[in-house]
Amino acid sequence: MRNKDELKQQAIIDATINLVNEIGFVACSVSKIAKKADVSPATLYVYYKNKEDLLVSTYIEIKQLFGRKLLNNFDDTLPIRDILKNLWFNIFMFTQKSPEYFQFTEQFSNSPFSELVDQEKVERNFEPIYQIILKGIDQKIIKNVSFDIISAFIFFPAMTLSNKKFCKSFEPTPDHIETAFNLAWDAIKY
């Protein structure tokens, strides 16, 4: 069995993200990814079972990275509103610095491949956020509704505003982000 090289693996992931964003999932083949990564197709199979495994693994890796970036400077001793506001700013920072990752995850989430994801691998990265929401509900700071509803009102607006395809004229300045956050906060606060 061949040894795995982290640089080659990262080149494969980068090539996958680039090609999917450029030509889509269907047109993106193992041979095209390997060529873009400057590796042989056989090398790709050292790291991944098949194209599906590569796509799913790439998505999970991006979501894990996103979770780490989202929780940057996470301080659960702050007021819940401040914690969520910091998360909003982290969302915008991630999507501005890594638009290719954001674009890939948006496409992936709306593809049949999303059904193949082990959601536990993704969700465990966001556990501290879930706990803060529960704490807010327990303390009657946040409305007592399902986490899906809370997410729809507090996180999806940030993701939508971050998406230049949907919000071409939105400028993610600190003032604009704060204004948008305040509207989302008003929707979930008790």
In a domain, 53, yes or no: no
pLDDT at position 170 = 93
In a domain, 108, yes or no: yes
Question: Does residue 38 sit in the same domain as residue 87?
Answer: no
Report the number of distinct structural domains present in the chain: 2
Mean pLDDT of 148-174: 91
Query: In which band, very low, low, confident or very high, does the pLDDT at 2 lie, cut at 50, 70 and 90?
Result: low
Give me the domain span that covers residue 35: 1-48
What 3 state SS string does the chain have?
A: CCCCCHHHHHHHHHHHHHHHHHHCCCCCCHHHHHHHHCCCHHHHHHHCCCHHHHHHHHHHHHHHHHHHHHCCCCCCCCCHHHHHHHHHHHHHHHHHHCHHHHHHHHHHHCCHHHHHCCHHHHHHHHHHHHHHHHHHHHCCCECCCCHHHHHHHHCHHHHHHHCCCCCCCCCCCHHHHHHHHHHHHHHHEC
pLDDT at position 28 = 93
Query: In which band, very low, low, confident or very high, does the pLDDT at 5 lie, cut at 50, 70 and 90?
Result: confident
Question: Does residue 90 sit in the same domain as residue 167?
Answer: yes
Question: Does residue 109 sit in the same domain as residue 41?
Answer: no
pLDDT tens digits, one per residue of 16-61: 999 999 999 999 999 999 999 999 999 999 999 999 999 999 999 9
Mean pLDDT of 56-85: 95
Question: Does residue 124 sit in the same domain as residue 34?
Answer: no
Phi, then psi, of 129 in degrees rounded to 5: -70, -45
Question: Does residue 36 sit in the same domain as residue 81?
Answer: no
Q: What percent of the chain has pLDDT over 90?
A: 91
Determine the Cα–Cα distance for residues 17 and 181; give it in Å rounded to an integer: 29
In a domain, 59, yes or no: no
Query: In which band, very low, low, confident or very high, does the pLDDT at 164 lie, cut at 50, 70 and 90?
Result: confident
Q: What percent of the chain has pLDDT over 70?
A: 98
Mean pLDDT of 74-92: 96
pLDDT above 70 for 3: no
| Non-local CB neighbours of 188 within 8 Å, separated by 6+ positions | 142, 143, 150, 153, 154
- Give the CATH number, domain containing residue 34: 1.10.10.60
pLDDT above 60 for 1: no
pLDDT at position 182 = 97
Determine the Cα–Cα distance for residues 15 and 165; give it in Å rounded to an integer: 22
In a domain, 38, yes or no: yes
Mean pLDDT of 174-179: 96
- Which pTM was predicted? 0.89
In a domain, 56, yes or no: no
